[in-house]
Structure 1
Amino acid sequence: MAIELNKDIRAEAIASIERYFRENMDEPIGNIAAGALLGFFVEEIGPAIYNKGVADAQERLQMRVMELDIEVHEEEFQYWRKLERKGKGRK
């Protein structure tokens, strides 16, 4: 599955790359070069980050599913036990 950024996110990311180069590098980077660099990182490194996010989400979901039986468990065959507790002094 290819990772694609929408137009607004892509523009913001390119602007961020340009700013990073202005503030941290000896040479500024142009808009086209920043876009190419972004494309490289999205294609080359993006899948590793995406897969880590998916794995983290799966782990959290599995933990929640494992807790599901505790949260929604109901004891079975409780009618007579409840009745006996209520009427302990009765007969």
Structure 2
Amino acid sequence: MSLLKFNDDEKRKMVEKLKDYLDQELDTSIGSFEAEFFLDFIAKNFAVTFYNKGLADAQDAMMGRIETINDAIYELELSDA
């Protein structure tokens, strides 16, 4: 997997959310430049974990659906008796 790539609008929105969070929750104001570096740090160090968790959750959801389909097919099977 390559590094995550965000378009300018996505990155701008994330930077603003990060700045707002730091300001409101931690009473710390940082500029857009610093927030962008912080966002890059978060993406570089934690994105793989979040991405893999998302894939695992999607796989679990899919397997649950497959089980439901298998059960439905089993119920449709005819008996030889």
TM bin, normalised by shorter chain, reads 0.7 to 0.9
Residue 3 of structure 1 deviates from its aligned partner by 2.0
Using the alignment, how far apart are the partners of 1:64 and 1:38 within structure 2? 36
Residue 77 of structure 1 deviates from its aligned partner by 7.0
Q: Which residue is equivalent to 1:86?
A: none
Counterpart of 1:37, as a letter, is F
Distance 1:19 1:70, change over 3 A: same
Give yes or no for contact 1:3–1:47 (8 Å, CA) kept in 2.
Answer: no
Q: Answer with 1 or 2: which has the greater Rg.
A: 1
Using the alignment, how far apart are the partners of 1:57 and 1:37 within structure 2? 28
Higher share of residues assigned helix: 2
Using the alignment, how far apart are the partners of 1:32 and 1:19 within structure 2? 14
Distance 1:75 1:8, change over 3 A: same
How many pairs are equivalent? 79
1:40 and 2:31 equivalent? no
Instruction: Could you tell me which runs of 5 or more consecutive residues in structure 1 were left unpaired when the two chains were aligned.
Output: 82-91
Counterpart of 2:65, as a letter, is R
Moved over 3 A (4+): 24-27
Give yes or no for contact 1:21–1:28 (8 Å, CA) kept in 2.
Answer: yes
Counterpart of 1:20, as a letter, is Y
How large is the Cα RMSD of the aligned pairs?
Answer: 2.1
Using the alignment, how far apart are the partners of 2:64 and 2:28 within structure 1? 48
